[in-house]
Amino acid sequence: MNRVILQKGRERSLLRRHPWIFSGAVNHLEGAPQPGETVEVSSADGRFLGRGAYSPISQIRVRIWTFDEQEEIGQSFFQRRLENARARREALQIPRQTNAFRLVSAEADGLPGLIVDRYGDFLVCQFLSVGVVYWQETILEQLQTFPGVRGIYERSDVEVRKKEGLQPCRGLLWGEEPPELIEIEEHGLKFLVDVKHGHKTGFYLDQRVNRQLVSSCSADAEVLNCFAYTGGFGLAALQGKASHVTNVEDVAGLLSLIDKNVQLNGIAEHRCTNVKADVFQLLRQYAEAGRTFDLIILDPPKFAEAKSHLIRASRGYKDINRLAFKLLRPGGLLFTFSCSGLMNVELFQKIVADGAIDAGCDVQMLQWLGQSPDHPVKLHIPESLYLKGLIGVKVA
């Protein structure tokens, strides 16, 4: 067995069951493991700490598979972990709410670097670390046995793979090729999803619970849906009897897909306006023109990809929240989010509060928001809580 021995005192995070070992924590390596091959991890005094996948290039040198000395890494291990992940979603009755959900959520499901999303009869996978690439065939063999799966497609076309020495990959892995657009259902709404070219694996599955909340708050409201993507929040608001929804997106092809989704759900076209624009610029224009809304959704893309981007990202979040508060009518609701993993909850609350102060208004926070339960959070892995949000009401 290849072995990684840590520097003295660098085992604390592993004792707290955090699965990442950074390169600076490694004292020396025994053996010559291939990228992704399993290594045993020991403390400086020789204590067993875990078994994980070795990555010679990444700053995360080892991603732990197991902390159990009796648990070997092989076919039965992956069969057990994947089946457990599927069973947890079944126990939460998620497949009764939707036919599109996250089946495997990487470290949170004990499979670092592996994302598996289900869209109807198709699975869409991201293999984001050398460990899951090393075991890819074993993982695929198990996924093929899941009920009703017709095809498995890969969407590992993301920059993060380069940190592991891997090139972006996309294409069919097994079974039938998915159609250009897959129709999914969620809480009575239908959506067309482009799993081959869309953001992430095609749809923001992590916002499912929050879309339902927006629907419940939208009766008779005039709604502004910023960074609309394919219209998920906007359609939820229309389902909740919003009087009108304005979707803002800067990609023409996405606006076309919003139109298709509106038609698919039999919603009258006059209840929805789609605007191709930069959100920051449009919010300023609306503020200058005196436009106001009853409910605003801010679900921007990730502003901070690295710690060095956090200050700039904070300014961006503050700016759009300040503008949104200016556009809210008294008593109006703001649903605001950050999907930047580097943005912690306390900092996000401060940024939104500062935005309200600069907008000259008093705001009550009604509720914290987070990711849907098919994107679980492991309590000892803070990074697994990546989606932060809150509902604010403009008091004055």
Residues 35-51 have pLDDT tens digits of 999 999 999 999 999 99
- Taking only the tens place, the pLDDT of each residue in 314-372 is 788 899 999 999 999 999 999 999 987 777 899 899 999 999 999 999 999 999 999 99
Domains of the chain: 3-66 (2.30.130.10), 75-180 (3.30.750.80), 204-394 (3.40.50.150)
- Taking only the tens place, the pLDDT of each residue in 238-280 is 999 999 999 999 998 899 999 999 999 999 999 999 999 999 9
User: Would residue 226 show up in a list of annotated catalytic residues for this protein?
Assistant: no
Tell me what the pLDDT averaged over the chain comes to: 95
Q: What's the confidence (pLDDT) of residue 306?
A: 64
Q: What's the confidence (pLDDT) of residue 343?
A: 78
Q: What's the confidence (pLDDT) of residue 309?
A: 65
**HSE, side-chain direction, 13 A CA sphere, residue 349:** 9
The angle at the Cα of 216, spanning 211 to 222, to the nearest 5 degrees, equals 85
The angle at the Cα of 313, spanning 59 to 360, to the nearest 5 degrees, equals 155
Calpha distance 287→125 (Å, rounded): 42
- Taking only the tens place, the pLDDT of each residue in 142-180 is 999 999 999 999 999 999 999 999 999 999 999 999 999
Q: Is the pLDDT of residue 374 over 80?
A: yes
Provide the greatest CA pair distance for the chain.
70
Catalytic, out of 125, 272, 339, 361? 339
Q: What's the confidence (pLDDT) of residue 121?
A: 97
- Phi, psi dihedral angles at 24 (to 5 degrees): -70, -15
pTM: 0.94
Side chain identity at residue 5, one-letter code: I
Calpha distance 182→202 (Å, rounded): 10
- Taking only the tens place, the pLDDT of each residue in 112-138 is 999 999 999 999 999 999 999 999 999
